[in-house]
Chains A and B, each alone.
Chain A
Amino acid sequence: MKFGVIRFPGSCDDVDALVAARRVGEAELLWHGDRDLRGADAIIVPGGFSYGDYLRAGAIARFAPVMEEVERFARDGGLVLGICNGFQVLCELGLLPGALLPNTNLKFTCRQLELEVVNAGTSWTSAASEGDVLSIPAKHMTGRFWAPDHVLDEVNVVLRYAAGSNFNGSSRDIAGVANEAGNVVGLMPHPEHAVEPLTGSADGLKLFLSAARVPV
């Protein structure tokens, strides 16, 4: 399994995502301006502030040349994970439903959270079990997941904030969603920052392990 991690101007979690992916497979960085996924089997759109988050988080990054390829790759069933800013980019791109709005507390918040696995049937959660509680940090100011009620009724929820963890005000405690097929997943918390017990938790590795066991 070879992971490709996109690097935009303003990405800041690309190297952590690269290091996390290398625990379960090969991984390399992909430049935002290249229309080339370099044969990657799975794509990670990492956290940060792509293009300075100008206008709206993810609004400009979704038009990056590399994202045209990512969109095609995803629609052909390729594995794509959007983390934090990457989740915002995938929503702006329309690969995932909904949008991310400013946290209700209007603060940039960084804290360890508990996330409940709601759907272990996606390409990025198959190494977990439904009902598992993962300890993973989040750090963002624009992470309130929102969609109209009719979309929320249908959306493929993958992860929910456990009681006391929904600090950003997300609708229905939704922390992560997938497309219908489950090959594209986005979440606000950072699994790549939770791959080593020494720094608090290795629960985030489950997402990378899930992708690594998808046959290529």
Chain B
Amino acid sequence: MTDPTDAHTLAPHQQHQFETIEQQQETSTLGMWAFLVTEVMFFGGLFGAYTVYRYLYPHAFSAASHHLNYKIGAVNTAVLIGSSMTMALAVRAAQLGHRRNQVIFLLLTIVLGSTFLGIKVVEYHDKFVHHLVPGPHFEFEGPYGREAQIFFSLYFAMTGMHAVHMIIGIAMLSILTVLAWKGRFSADYYTPVELGGLYWHFVDIVWIYLFPLLYLIRGG
């Protein structure tokens, strides 16, 4: 206040408009959350469509859901939760300034994320083989042919958009891994890793809802 130039001492990596590096970090986190809220809204539209059609055609959704392999879905859920765990550990390593652990956990997260996508490819392939992809070649035994096609349209739209987010996430993680390898992050500055983690965990949360809503429709 007494300093006429208002030149507060800047920490390394601190932008001049921020009073402290803590304030800078909090601002970045809040900005990332504002983005994630728009992502909640984006997926919310898909979940809204799902809600309406499941309400209208509960029996068809149950019948169609039985064509998804819930065991594969459960394994994939575990893989993705595991990737969230390694991501959290990568952020923790960054907070502690452990460069080697940070790179290892980021790579593990990429491996687990890729495993999830690989399993997804097998599942998608299975749907093509069994004519469960909406379109002219769609075939569904029983009275719910048309409604089942709506279920599979939602299945591909929702898991597809989720997979796109995973692919973006893996690209982002690859960049973070290179930067971490080069030693760009330290205990004083690891904001990109923290924000990358927020994105990755958000994608995990979307799947946490998709799994029971698509794979586990029983009763009904």
- Please indicate whether A and B come from the same complex rather than being unrelated chains: no
